[in-house]
Amino acid sequence: MRPTRSRGRNFASLAALTFALAALVPTTATAAPKPDVKVVPAVVPQPVSQTSLTGSGFALTAQTPVNVISSSDPDAAGVGSYLAGLLAPATGYTLPVTTTSQPVSQAIVLNPNGASSLGAEGYTLKSTSTGVTVTAYGAQGLFRGVQTLRQLLPAAIESTSVKPGPWTVSPVQISDSPRYSYRGAMVDVARRYYPMSQLKRYIDQAATYKINTLHLHLTDDQGWRIAIGAIPSLTTVGASTQAGFTGGTDWYYTAAEYQEIVAYAKSRFMTVVPEIDGPGHTSAALASVANLNCDDQPGNLYSGFDVGISLYCLSDAQHVADVSSFLTTVIDTVASMTPGPYVHLGGDETPAATPSQYAAYVSAASSAVTSQGKTVMGWHQLGQSTIPANSIMQWWGSDGDRATVGTSYENENVHFVRDAVQQNAKFVMSPSDHAYLDMKYDSSTPYGLTWQGYISLSRAYDWDPTTSTAKLDGTGSLVPADKIAGVEAALWADHAYAGSHRLATSTSQFPEPYVYAEHMTFPRLPAIAEIGWSPQSTHNYSDFSRRLGTHGARWSAAGIEYYAAPDVPWSSPPSSSSLIGVHTLTTGGQALDVPGSSGAPDTQLDTWALHGGNNQKWTFVKQPDGSYILVNVASGLCADVSGGSLSAGAAIIQWTCSGDTNQKWQVTPVTGGGHTVASVSSGLLLTTASTTNGALVTQQPASGSALQRWTIG
């Protein structure tokens, strides 16, 4: 193996290179014409082949059977019930699910007895006025075909309440199968704990775009999220923190809950990959188990926002043995609850580890994995050590690394990949400058990081797995094409809060995990999903964004808090969820403003002629009750009713964000334009005294005056 290299992320040089390169990336966004959704089915990911047929399509009625053809696949009938369940809320129909040996007419026929040449996930779909038939080689292909079928119905089919219809399936013939067999979505439940219902919601959303792998980043500095029966302290101690939060008692998945997630994912034909990250990213374990530390004293819990801060003690034989025995217990437990083939060992960002310490970790952890009959996955750094045959490395490098390929200054990421390739590893591609869903879209989006610059929708779409470890001109790929298992989008959560380049000052700056997840995921996950599924020959951003533009209405109907990326031709107006982000509030051209850009708490807000400075910009952070807190971009303080007053005339000030109701604001559109902004505690409206510069802002009863009608820009 190669000798010592530092394994830290080199922020400065990487960031500089990436920004320089970002400037060279062409902006592919063009305003495509509005599609006629009735005529051109807008399926994402793009099918391999699709032909629109003439005729009226197939109209569902309350009696349409979901007709599953009998087969030896025990899961096929379940796909029929799943489809009937999908269609029920919006149609109000309880479609009969029948199993017969021959197809019936005027039905949705799900036939799992197709040719084996369709592969595990391929399917054909034909829809005419006499019925719809999905044919696959087994239940999994039917399930993928059903995701296409739902996209051939009107957007309102995604509604959670009954809608009028009609429910007509576009007439079309499709033949489809995936480019890659691994299409993943990673959720960082370690930095931010997702309650069960929110994790299931994410599984359902990802399944819509034919994602077939759910990678759960279960452990990190900020929390240990999986119960290990033999080591209760991992959850009694290690699960009590999140990034930005302390004092939790149930921020973890019990064994039963983990198995429920695995089973739920399986019912969506999704494999769970559990990640136990090490030897770095381990503060939660170090705080829970004394002998993982060199001084045999439990370390400190960590609820901050940094990376690369911790390491298992691997500096003497006794501690290597202690860490090995710990990892064996943990990995045996996790593997025994995981039907899928992989256990992910992390391996990222361990600046303090010497090569032999790092190798000791990889050796102990990977033998625990293989002795359970599982396959090792790891971040690409793992490749520097000896890894078992058939391991899968996850590439998270970027154009900055690619720029060094084949030069005399090839960087460590390139070296690690070369080492892994020599060991015959396979790769999953998660380039951090395209597939990291925790990067901000642009300067106006509130959550996430920018260490790889901004990742707009077009940047999330404009890459190809076969060149993601190649030189910038696309030649010289480090990873041979036949070693690419697929792609994965990574939703990290160490900065799942509002406030650019600034640490959160209060938990109220954190949205509910699902709001963060959906804002960062939609519309970018569908872009990564299309790269994983669709043939490279269909890759075309303007066609993708035209198709995706029709999905905004689907997400609105489903209540998904998506980000209405400005370069997408959305076919319907974005829903009000798009208030998440940075805005100005103006009335009569005068903007809600922190006087003199003061950073001092207790400064009364005023209105001033709009000039676009940061003291006139407010980050809207959605709260669980649907209201927003308004964080000033210059000061990081929150708009607040002074003293929590319930009286008319009380001053509106800026104050340290607290999440109290006198900092929550209900934003309501007014007929004829503008919005009222009401304090959740007092019900009184944000009101300026006049349109003169420096007019003071107070709360007042609704009067209909323009001075309390705000334009949100």
Burial class (CB in 10 A: 0-12, 13-18, 19+), 135: buried
Tokens of 89: 């809320």
CA 209 to chain CA centroid, Å, is: 13
Window 557 to 596, contacts with ligand TNX (CB under 6 A): none
> Cβ atoms within 10 A of the Cβ of 378, count?
29
84 and 146 Cβ atoms separated by less than 8 Å: no
- Please identify, using beta-carbon distances, which residue of 11 and 643 lies nearer to ligand TNX: 11
The SS3 call for residue 597 is: helix
CA distances from 439 to 186, 205, 454, 501, 575 (A): 14, 20, 6, 12, 22
416: contact with ligand TNX by CB under 6 A = no
Least Å distance, CB 494 to ligand TNX, is: 4
Window 435 to 454, contacts with ligand TNX (CB under 6 A): 436, 438, 449
488: contact with ligand TNX by CB under 6 A = no
Stretch that binds ligand TNX, among 291-299, 328-336, 430-438, 497-505 (CB under 6 A): 430-438
Q: Is 349 a catalytic residue?
A: yes
Q: Which residues of 14-45 are buried (b: 16+ CB within 10 A; e: fewer)?
A: bbebbeebbeeeeebbeebeebebeeebbbbb
Least Å distance, CB 448 to ligand TNX, is: 8
- Please identify, using beta-carbon distances, which residue of 399 and 438 lies nearer to ligand TNX: 438
Tell me, residue by residue from 295 to 324, as one string, x for binding to ligand TNX by CB under 6 A and - for no binding.
Answer: ------------x-----------------
Which H or E element spans position 399?
Answer: helix 399-402
Least Å distance, CB 358 to ligand TNX, is: 15
- Of 396, 441, 461, 516, the one binding ligand TNX (CB under 6 A) is 396
One-letter amino acid of 264: Y
Least Å distance, CB 581 to ligand TNX, is: 20
Stretch that binds ligand TNX, among 152-160, 431-439, 533-541, 686-694 (CB under 6 A): 431-439
Q: Give the position of tokens 């994965």.
A: 488
Phi, psi (5° rounding) for residue 587? -135, 125
- Please identify, using beta-carbon distances, which residue of 436 and 541 lies nearer to ligand TNX: 436
Q: Tell me, what DSSP letter sits at residue 708?
A: G
User: Does 566 sit behind a cis peptide bond, omega within 30 degrees of 0 on the bond before it?
Assistant: no
Window 360 to 389, contacts with ligand TNX (CB under 6 A): 379
Paired sense of beta strands 426-429 and 392-395, if any: parallel
User: Does 526 sit behind a cis peptide bond, omega within 30 degrees of 0 on the bond before it?
Assistant: no
The DSSP line for 114-151 is --GGGTTT-EEEEEETTEEEEEEBSHHHHHHHHHHHHH
- Please identify, using beta-carbon distances, which residue of 436 and 570 lies nearer to ligand TNX: 436
Least Å distance, CB 458 to ligand TNX, is: 20
Window 490 to 509, contacts with ligand TNX (CB under 6 A): 492, 494
Strand intervals (E) in 396-548 = 426-429, 484-491
3-state helix, strand, coil in the chain (%, to 5): 30, 20, 45
Residue 440: which of 638, 242, 581, 584 has the closest Cα? 581
Least Å distance, CB 281 to ligand TNX, is: 6
Alpha-carbon span 90 to 82, nearest angstrom: 14
- Please identify, using beta-carbon distances, which residue of 396 and 497 lies nearer to ligand TNX: 396
- Please identify, using beta-carbon distances, which residue of 494 and 640 lies nearer to ligand TNX: 494
- Please identify, using beta-carbon distances, which residue of 148 and 242 lies nearer to ligand TNX: 242
Residues in contact with ligand TNX, counted by CB under 6 A, come to a total of 11
Helix 317-336 / helix 355-371 crossing angle, nearest 10 deg = 30
Least Å distance, CB 74 to ligand TNX, is: 38
Stretch that binds ligand TNX, among 176-184, 432-440, 578-586, 695-703 (CB under 6 A): 432-440
Window 152 to 171, contacts with ligand TNX (CB under 6 A): none
- Please identify, using beta-carbon distances, which residue of 26 and 501 lies nearer to ligand TNX: 501
- Please identify, using beta-carbon distances, which residue of 148 and 445 lies nearer to ligand TNX: 445
Residue 148: which of 106, 208, 95 has the closest Cα? 208
- Please identify, using beta-carbon distances, which residue of 401 and 593 lies nearer to ligand TNX: 401
Window 261 to 290, contacts with ligand TNX (CB under 6 A): none
603 and 609 Cβ atoms separated by less than 8 Å: no
- Please identify, using beta-carbon distances, which residue of 12 and 481 lies nearer to ligand TNX: 12
Catalytic residue among 121, 275, 349, 412: 349
The SS3 call for residue 588 is: coil
Least Å distance, CB 217 to ligand TNX, is: 8
What are the CB-based long-range contacts (under 8 Å, 24+) for 433-436? Answer: 433/18, 433/22, 433/398, 433/399, 433/400, 433/459, 434/459, 434/460, 434/462, 434/463, 434/468, 434/528, 435/460, 435/463, 435/487, 435/488, 435/489, 435/490, 435/528, 436/396, 436/489, 436/490, 436/492
Least Å distance, CB 347 to ligand TNX, is: 8
Least Å distance, CB 616 to ligand TNX, is: 30
349: contact with ligand TNX by CB under 6 A = yes
- Please identify, using beta-carbon distances, which residue of 504 and 568 lies nearer to ligand TNX: 504
348: contact with ligand TNX by CB under 6 A = yes
The SS3 call for residue 555 is: helix
Least Å distance, CB 280 to ligand TNX, is: 9
Least Å distance, CB 452 to ligand TNX, is: 7
Tokens of 168: 């007509």
The SS3 call for residue 698 is: strand
Q: Which residues of 308-321 are buried (b: 16+ CB within 10 A; e: fewer)?
A: bebbbbbeeeebbe
Question: Quick one: CA dihedral 473, 479, 482, 488, positive or negative?
Answer: negative
Q: Under the rule (CB under 6 A), what is the footprint of ligand TNX? A: 307, 348-349, 379, 396, 432, 436, 438, 449, 492, 494
Q: So which residues are the catalytic ones?
A: 349
